[in-house]
């Protein structure tokens, strides 16, 4: 869980979120409860609900009872999407812990993800939330599906930089953006402010995903819960690799490796080495910094000082994180 000094202002909210998640995933079918609680206990940064809480705190009469169900909904949608992603990617490890599909199989995992999606919308169905919020959540889920289909269609294919940005926007950035915007709507901020919160969240989300893709090439399974080069192994061509194919003296060799669906660990290591030796990582880091600068500049005027400070610290965290 993303819990440190930068989010102290919403510490109580995040604690309430954890309790609420555990309560909402209970089912009369014991296996569903077991799987859902396994997902909760596997951890996670809780970034989306944290940003939502921060934005919602902009209201002078903050009401946790009104705010909390939407936070739980946001995290349940995220959890459900990860369960489905792991099935599609045939992933066995996430955050250093066995995935649901590795423990219980694909069929049960897909149905458990469906259960979480249903619980998420059931939570907010009887609330008097602004209609814009439900439309935004619906659009987010459509985007998650579109992004995943796009990514699967491009497996072991060299995509353009613009195609990469489109995919990560749909798979990651748009949901983070919506979480910020929804918090602003809950806080009854004017549309000009919620639009700026959306821009902040989208830029933060783009930076967050590019950082993930950098870490896939530079970190190890102890820190990020998967081996270096895992994206390449799965046929996912990320920004540092796209750049390396454009600029590396070994670009032809790299392109041949990443488009080979039968590649082995030695080939993955070679692709990682070529990318590390190119300017691909520095190029991607520059994009991260540019997006984070844009995020900071997008924050609307009038936010409470402690909330603005936390938003800025979250952006700083994304730029420095190594997990």
pLDDT at residue 176 in the model? 98
**Distance of alpha carbon 77 from alpha carbon 315, whole angstroms:** 23
Report the 10 Å Cβ neighbour count for 238.
24
Residue 3: predicted pLDDT = 45
What CATH class is the domain 5-318?
mainly alpha
More confident residue, 207 or 7: 207
Residue appearing with tokens 């000094």: 5
Q: What is the DSSP letter of 295?
A: H
Average of per-residue pLDDT values in the chain: 93
Exposed e or buried b per residue across 95-126, where buried means at least 16 C-beta atoms within 10 angstroms of its C-beta: eeeebbbbebeeebbbebbebbbebbeebbee
pLDDT, one tens digit per residue, over 119-172 is 999 998 888 899 999 999 999 999 999 999 988 899 999 999 999 999 999 999
Under a CB-based contact definition with an 8 Å cutoff, are residues 2 and 208 in contact?
A: no
| Confidence band, pLDDT 50/70/90 cuts, at residue 267 | very high
Query: What residues have CB less than 8 Å from 123, skipping those under 6 apart?
Result: 24, 69, 70, 72, 73, 76
pLDDT band at 6 (very low <50, low <70, confident <90, very high): confident
Q: Is 40 in contact with 21 (CB distance < 8 Å)?
A: yes
Bridge partners, residue 93, by sequence = 98
Where does residue 129 fall: left (phi above 0), alpha (psi -120 to 50 degrees), or beta otherwise?
A: beta
Q: Above pLDDT 70, what percent of the chain?
A: 96
Mean pLDDT computed over 292-308: 96
Mean pLDDT within 309-313: 96
**Residue pair 188/62 in contact by the 8 Å Cβ criterion:** no
Q: pLDDT per residue over 66-104, tens digit each? A: 999 999 999 999 999 999 988 888 888 887 788 989 999
Q: What is the pLDDT of residue 167?
A: 95
- The residue whose two tokens read 């998967």 is 226
Give the pLDDT band of residue 221 (cuts 50, 70, 90). low
């Amino acid at each position: 869980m993303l819990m440190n000094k930068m989010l102290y202002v919403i510490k109580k909210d995040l604690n309430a979120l954890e309790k609420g998640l555990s309560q909402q995933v209970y089912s009369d079918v014991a296996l569903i409860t077991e799987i859902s609680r396994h997902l909760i206990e596997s951890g996670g940064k809780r970034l989306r609900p944290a940003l939502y809480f921060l934005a919602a705190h902009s209201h002078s009469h903050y009401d946790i009872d009104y705010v909390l169900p939407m936070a739980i909904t946001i995290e349940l949608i995220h959890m459900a999407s990860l369960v489905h992603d792991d099935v599609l990617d045939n992933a066995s490890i996430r955050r250093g812990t066995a995935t649901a599909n590795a423990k219980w199989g694909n069929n049960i995992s897909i149905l458990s993800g469906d259960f979480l999606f249903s619980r998420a919308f059931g939570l907010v169905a009887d609330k008097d939330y602004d209609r814009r919020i439900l439309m935004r959540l619906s659009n987010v889920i459509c985007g998650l599906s579109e992004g995943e289909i796009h990514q699967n269609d491009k497996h072991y294919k060299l995509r353009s930089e613009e195609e990469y940005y489109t995919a990560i926007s749909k798979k990651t950035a748009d949901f983070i953006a919506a979480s910020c915007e929804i918090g602003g709507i809950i806080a009854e901020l004017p549309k000009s402010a919620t639009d700026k919160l959306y821009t902040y969240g989208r830029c933060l989300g783009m930076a967050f995903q590019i950082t993930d893709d950098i870490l896939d090439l530079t970190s190890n399974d102890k820190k990020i819960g998967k081996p270096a080069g895992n994206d390449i192994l799965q046929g996912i061509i990320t920004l540092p690799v796209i750049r390396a194919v454009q600029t590396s003296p070994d670009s032809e060799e790299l392109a041949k490796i990443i488009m080979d669906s039968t590649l082995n660990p030695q080939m993955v290591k070679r692709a990682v080495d070529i990318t590390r030796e190119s300017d691909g990582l520095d190029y991607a880091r520059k994009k991260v910094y540019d997006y984070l600068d844009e995020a900071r500049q997008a924050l609307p005027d009038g936010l409470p000082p402690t909330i603005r400070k936390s938003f800025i610290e979250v952006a700083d965290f994304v730029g420095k994180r190594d997990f």
